[in-house]
Amino acid sequence: MISLTHYLLVGACLFCIGLYVALTKRNAIQILIGIELMLNAGILNLVAFGKFDKAANGGQLFALFAIVLAAATTAVALAIILNVYRRYKTIDPNKVDKLKG
């Protein structure tokens, strides 16, 4: 029987992996992937808690909104990364540390 705890453990594992990726990778796209993993860990939690709201299915609905928003933010983030690459000829965030244009 797969209980709530198992979902939450998977979500936590995913979040940690995502965090690790976001903190350690030298590539902006990989970092973006890490962020997506953490976001999905959150969404997984929403879905898991949504099991307890059989009447309105608020959890599932909220998860759908979050996925759509995540897609939008990813698109924006990719656009930013493209622009950064054009300007600095790199997408290593450690080398992009100036606010000045």
Partner 1 sequence: MAQTLPYQQLTTCYYALTAVVLPVLAFAVNFFLKKGKAAGWISTIAIGATTVFAAIVFKQQWNAPLIHATIPWFTIGGTAVNAGILLNNLSVLLLLLVNVIALPVHIYSMAYMSHDEGFSRYFTYLSFFCFSMLALVVVDNLVLFYAFWELVGFSSYLLIGFWFTRDKAVQANKKAFIMNRIGDVGLLIAIMVLFSQYHTFDLNALFSADGLVANSTLTNGLWINGTSTIPAVWQYLACAGLFLAVAAKSAQFPLHTWLPDAMEGPTSVSALIHAATMVAAGIFLLGRVYPLFSVHELDALAIIGCFTAFMAASIAITQNDLKRILAFSTISQLGFMVMAMGIGAYASSLFHLVTHAFFKCLLFLVAGAVIHEMQHIRDENKLDFDPQNILYMGGLRRKMPITFITAVIAGLALVGLPFTSGYLSKDGILIQAFEWSDTKAGVFKIIPILTLITSWLTAFYVARLVFKVFFGKFRLSEVNPGLKLHVHDGPWKFNVPMIFLAICCLFPVFSLNPFLYEHAWIYKSFLPSNFLERMNPYHTIIPIALNILSLLVIYWAYAVYVLDKKLPLKQNNWLFAFSYYQWYFNEAYQKVFVQPVLAISTGLFAFDRKGIDGLIHFFNRIILWVAKLSAAIDRYVVDGFLHFVVALVRQIGNFARSFQTGRVQYYLLTTVVAIVAWVILKILI
Looking at beta carbons only, is 47 or 70 nearer to partner 1? 70
Give me the least distance between CB of 77 and partner 1, in Å please.
12
Which residues of the shown chain bind partner 1 in the complex (CB under 8 A)?
19, 22-24, 31, 93-94, 97-99
The CB-of-7 to partner 1 minimum distance in angstroms stands at 21
Note the helical H segments in 1-101.
Answer: 4-24, 28-50, 58-88
Dist. CA 33–CA 88, nearest whole Å: 21
**Pick 17 or 64: Cβ nearer partner 1:** 17
Amino acid at 19: L
The CA distance from 69 to 18, in Å, is 18
Can you tell me whether residue 2 is helix, strand or coil? coil
Q: Toward partner 1, which CB reaches closer, 64 or 81?
A: 81
